[in-house]
Amino acid sequence: MLKLTEITPTETATDEVLTLPYEARQKSRLLSKTDKGTEIGLFLPRGQVLRHGYVLSGVDHIKVRVVAADEALSVVRTDDALQFARACYHLGNRHVALQILPNELRFLSDYVLDEMLVGLGLTVSHEVLPFEPENGAYHGHGH
């Protein structure tokens, strides 16, 4: 089993790929398998979220790139800045992990939240896409 203990600077050359959903990318301790089937153990500093593209390594110097897995998401698209801001406000008020893109919001599918947004006059679609939510205002930016 590979023991991965460090997040290294993003590099182009990696030996393995580790595809994980958002929930697993929030864990500092995790047993998993790479896309090639190599068993790995994550032993990372607590409080760190693995972002798509991060590279992990350990004492054996094997480099493993993190990839955000496709997940079932609710997607809201609007060109109306006020509607967009209202949706962000109401989702943020509920502490929803939210990916914010130009004129588009993504969050893990939840029918209650979908209904709330429809009630605000927005249209919600469902797609299977990688999920990379905002870190949050108080989350550190370093590796």
Instruction: Report the CATH number at residue 10.
Output: 2.60.260.20
Residue where one domain finishes, among candidates 20, 50, 68: 68
For residues 107 and 26, give the distance between their C-alpha atoms in angstroms, rounded to a whole number: 15
Asked if 75 and 123 sit in the same domain, the reply is yes
End-to-end C-alpha distance for the chain, whole angstroms: 24
Per residue in 112-141, pLDDT (tens digit) is 999 999 999 999 999 999 999 998 655 554
Instruction: Report the CATH number at residue 103.
Output: 3.30.70.790
Q: Compute the radius of gyration of the chain from its Cα atoms.
A: 17
Per residue in 90-117, pLDDT (tens digit) is 999 999 999 999 999 999 999 999 999 9
For residues 73 and 108, give the distance between their C-alpha atoms in angstroms, rounded to a whole number: 5
DSSP 85-113: HHHHHHHHHTT---EEETTEEEEE--HHH
Asked if 7 and 64 sit in the same domain, the reply is yes
Residue at 143 is within a domain: no
Q: How many domains does the chain have?
A: 2
Asked if 74 and 88 sit in the same domain, the reply is yes
Evaluate whether 2 touches 64 at the Cβ level (below 8 Å): yes
Asked if 8 and 61 sit in the same domain, the reply is yes
For residues 22 and 137, give the distance between their C-alpha atoms in angstroms, rounded to a whole number: 18
129 or 60, which is more confident?
129
Per residue in 5-26, pLDDT (tens digit) is 888 777 768 889 999 999 999 9
Largest CA distance in the chain: 54
> Which conformational region is residue 33 in: left (phi greater than 0), alpha (psi within -120 to 50 degrees), or beta?
beta
Domain around 53: 2-68
Evaluate whether 45 touches 94 at the Cβ level (below 8 Å): no
Going by C-alpha positions, the residue among 54, 60, 57 that lies closest to residue 19 is: 54
